[in-house]
């Protein structure tokens, strides 16, 4: 019989946070925004300075139409992570939902500037451009997001933001399984 593996308290905390983050993201994707919010809040109970949990909290609140709270959650990130790509991404999504398009574009630009290797930032900026009827810019950011995280093709293939491009050759090529 093998001995038990000892998990240090800080490792256990991180496992709990990562589990909440994973479930929270899945609840967001499923449109279960209240459950997503509650799950991200659980992650923040374990690790109050987890920027990805604050991002998720902001996204859930945005989808629930609670924009002031969503922006407060986005801005919370900057208190412990200045120039955070997560903070800018959360702000951008909230601004876009409120119809503040120039502010959304500026925040998305900062999110990809400060998080050039973050696929989610590029993906959300691609969605922004798709919603603005800008296929070239949408393609540019979607292609970059998929280079960073190829598995996003599954989400992109059915994302409502890309509904106008689903029959376009460039879109089909980007989201095809390779």
Ordered by start, the domain boundaries in the chain are 11-107, 117-178
Q: Which of 140, 133, 125 is nearest to 164 (CA)?
A: 133
Q: How far apart are CA 127 and CA 113, in angstroms?
A: 17
Four-way CATH pick for 11-107: 1.20.140.160, 1.25.40.80, 1.25.40.10, 1.20.210.10: 1.25.40.10
Cβ atoms 53, 43 nearer than 8 A: yes
Model pLDDT for residues 51-66, shown as the tens digit of each residue:
999 999 999 999 999 9
- Distance between CA atoms of 3 and 79, rounded to whole angstroms? 43
What average pLDDT does range 2-13 have in this prediction? 75
Regarding pTM above 0.95, the answer is no
Which uninterrupted H or E stretch holds 142? helix 135-148
Residue 152's Cβ-side half-sphere holds a number of Cα atoms within 13 Å equal to 22
Smallest CA-to-CA distance from 84 within 96, 73, 98, 95 is with 73
* pLDDT attached to residue 14: 83
**Residue 2 — pLDDT band, cuts 50, 70, 90?**
low
């Amino acid at each position: 019989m093998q001995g038990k593996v000892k998990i240090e308290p800080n490792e256990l905390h991180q496992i709990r946070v990562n589990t909440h983050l994973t479930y929270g993201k899945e609840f967001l994707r499923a449109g279960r925004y209240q459950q997503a919010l509650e799950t991200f809040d659980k992650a923040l109970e374990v690790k109050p300075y987890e920027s990805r949990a604050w991002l998720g909290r902001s996204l859930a609140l945005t989808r629930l139409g609670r924009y002031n709270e969503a922006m407060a959650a986005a801005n919370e990130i900057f208190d412990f992570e200045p120039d955070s790509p997560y903070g800018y991404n959360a702000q951008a999504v909230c601004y876009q939902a409120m119809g503040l398009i120039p502010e959304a574009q500026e925040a998305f630009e900062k999110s990809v500037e400060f998080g050039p290797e973050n696929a989610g930032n590029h993906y959300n900026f691609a969605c922004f451009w798709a919603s603005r009827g800008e296929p070239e810019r949408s393609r540019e950011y979607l292609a970059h997001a998929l280079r960073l995280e190829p598995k996003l093709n599954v989400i992109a293939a059915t994302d409502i933001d890309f509904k106008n491009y689903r029959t376009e050759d460039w879109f089909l090529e980007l989201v095809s399984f390779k």
